Amino acid sequence: MSQIITKSSLLRLADKWLAEQKRVIGPRSAPSGQVLYAEVEDAAELSLAGYIRPANSIKDYIFPRHEKLYSYKINGRNIELIDAELSTVEQVFIGARPCDAAAMPILDRIFNWDCSDDFFNRRRELSTIITFACKEHDDYCFCTSVNSGPEDSRGSDVILFEIDDEKYEVRSLTDKGKKLFDGNTEESDKISSVGPGPEICFDLKKIKQFLDEGFESPLWKKISLGCIGCGVCTYTCPTCHCFDIVDEGNSSGGERVRNWDSCQFSMFTKHASGHNPRSSSSQRGRQRIYHKFQIYPEKFGKLLCTGCGNCSRDCPVSSGVKSVLQAVQKSIMENG
Amino acid sequence: MLRKLQNTCRQLLLEGKVDVVIGYGQADSESPTHPVFITDAKDVKKLVWNDKCLINLVTYLKRPEIKSLGKSAIVAKGCDERAIVVLEKESQLERDSVFVIGMACAGVGQPLLPKCKVCDAHMPQVADIIIGSVENPSVDADTRYAELKSFLKKSPEERHKHWVKECRRCLKCYACRQTCPMCYCERCIVDVNQPQYIDSSASTKGNFAWHITRAFHLAGRCVGCDECTRVCPVGIDLRLLNMSIAKSAEQNFEFRAGVDPDAKPIIGSYSEQDREDFIR
């Protein structure tokens, strides 16, 4: 037996959460036609079908691109520090993809490694993630190549499987998730399934071997020629998490804020001395791959990539992790 | 056209006239195109030409990684080519240092990009060789700025609300800057941090500061290739901002960036006859 919910009941539930002052975040069509995760004011704004995955990721609402850490007032020699208040708003993600949700436990490790990040942790605690398992994929998806897949449950509180246009099977994975759906589902003998997922497009073992020895490979220069040096891949990635801390204000006070930063920007590693250890775009492109497939895995035992494909899907020049690792794989095949 | 393009590039490489050809490649006919950098005549087969050739490749002429490859030939549509004209005017490149392969183009994108619907550059003008032939329509200014005109019908309050909403989505990924052939500053004003002139935050205030600065720095320079709009991951219609500034340049100075190779750039030149009655 399975638990099911109709699409209209799900939307009614979302409206109920909104009425309870919860923040509801889900896929919504932007005026440009792109589907983006966004906060909605009415469940009718959600577009729950007809997209592969949004162009951004749910990370935006757990680790926002701009966040106040504290504010300060300067009065002569007196400096007063005022703590920023932590979020108190419960938030429900509806229609996250498995590749978004799976990024959450990956980010948990980062934000609780050498210190515990209150801002991040509070948002995580206040979040419930309702994931839609994937029936379809596009040419950019490569979850199956990075130990994930269309029904990866990591990070999800609930997974919904589409039975048909009107119904979802509900599988609650955590108490938090169960609480949201209790009393709102029906028993059914209908069984749902997911799509087969994308074909595996590179061999992780071979990639790892290459990375172990290939730091100085001329390949990095070749495959980065087309990179224009923007931050799209990192900012739309569910797992990229680098940030910069800056003060914004004037001589009487201001705020210390944390903003997203990108390893693809030439300023990212620029030292105060003027020296830049990653002064070329090939060094920066290489860094992103090493961080995801060697540095993070060596430290935390998992990949820093869920195969969502946003890095290629959103890339102005159609590059990204998939095409880079395919090029690596091709070079291994050709050169042994 | 494709065969002629490939043959031209093969010749250029074989004769040593150029060291690299910057063109479009494609994994298969369904995929979007991507830039390719051909240095070996044997690889010209990788070049494609079709209505998915959206990228304005001129942006690569400013990149040190590409400059280091030597003299380049570049595949350019009529609209892209205008960026070369501006770069030359601004002393960013020697016209002789690049071989321009102009492609006759009746429009790209499926559906057709908005810029293509009002394009009057189907045929390249300054290219060293033009491949293909297509009629060059004449488009009047009213048609060119029709989208802007309908936007300007809204009240200032509504327009402000529109931009607040748009800028709220901005991630500050700077794809708009990086893809722009005209954004060639070695250090962009937003990256200057001693002192910090512009908030680096992707807050509404910081995003406004960025987009207004970006648009103003492109006054009389933007050629309307719309790459900033195409690459924006959150779909901000920067085209409207660019158009507004281009319209000012055309109305007040009879100037369109990159259109007339002999015209003096309006920001880089001075004339006592310059109008100033619109400055308030």
Q: Which of B72, B102, B131 is the last residue of a domain?
A: B131
Task: Give B196→chain A minimum CA distance, Å.
Answer: 9
Say if residue B24 is in the same domain as residue B60: yes
Nearest residue in chain A measured CA to CA from B23 = A226
Determine the pLDDT at residue B280.
66
Within a domain: residue B280?
no
| Look-up of token digits 């040096």 | A229
- pLDDT band per the 50, 70, 90 thresholds, residue B194: confident
Q: Which of B131, B164, B181 is the last residue of a domain?
A: B131
Q: Residue B202: its chain A contacts at CB < 8 A?
A: 65-66, 259-260
Task: Give A245→chain B minimum CA distance, Å.
Answer: 10
Residue B84 has pLDDT above 80, yes or no: yes
Determine the pLDDT at residue A31.
80
- According to DSSP, the residues that pair with B153 across neighbouring strands are none
Residues 30-59 of B with CB under 8 A from A: 30-37, 55, 59
Say if residue B184 is in the same domain as residue B125: no
Bond into A27 cis (ω within 30)? no
Give the rounded percent of residues in chain B with a pLDDT score beyond 90. Answer: 88
Name the residue among B34, B201, B237 with its Cβ closest to that of A66.
B201
Range of B99's domain?
2-131
3-state secondary structure of A72: strand
Cα(B75)–Cα(B77) distance, integer angstroms: 7
- List pLDDT tens digits, range A32-42: 888 999 999 99
Tokens of A15: 């409206």
- What is the mean predicted confidence (pLDDT) over B136-150? 94
Decide if A56 and B234 are in contact by the 8 Å CB cutoff: yes
Q: Are B165 and B39 in contact (CB under 8 A)?
A: no
- Note whether ipTM > 0.90 here: yes
Within a domain: residue B276?
no
Say if residue B127 is in the same domain as residue B150: no
Determine the pLDDT at residue A336.
63
Say if residue B199 is in the same domain as residue B166: yes
Say if residue B102 is in the same domain as residue B180: no
Q: Residue B203: its chain A contacts at CB < 8 A?
A: 66
Decide if B172 and A231 are in contact by the 8 Å CB cutoff: yes
Mean pLDDT of chain B: 94
Within a domain: residue B277?
no
Report CA-CA distances (Å) from B10 to B43, B136, B175, B183: 8, 28, 32, 31
Determine the pLDDT at residue A333.
86
Q: Which of B64, B96, B131 is the last residue of a domain?
A: B131
Say if residue B121 is in the same domain as residue B216: no
Determine the pLDDT at residue A1.
80
Give me the residues of chain A with pLDDT under 70, please: 336
Residue B275 has pLDDT above 80, yes or no: no
In terms of C-beta distances under 8 Å and separation of at least 24 residues, what long-range contacts does A244-248 make, across chains too?
A: A244/B200, A245/A69, A246/B193, A246/B196, A246/B200, A246/B201, A247/A72, A248/B196, A248/B199, A248/B201
Name the residue among B173, B203, B230 with its Cβ closest to that of A231.
B173
Decide if B179 and A36 are in contact by the 8 Å CB cutoff: no
Mutate to test the interface with B, among A59, A63, A66 (most CBs of B within 10 A): A66
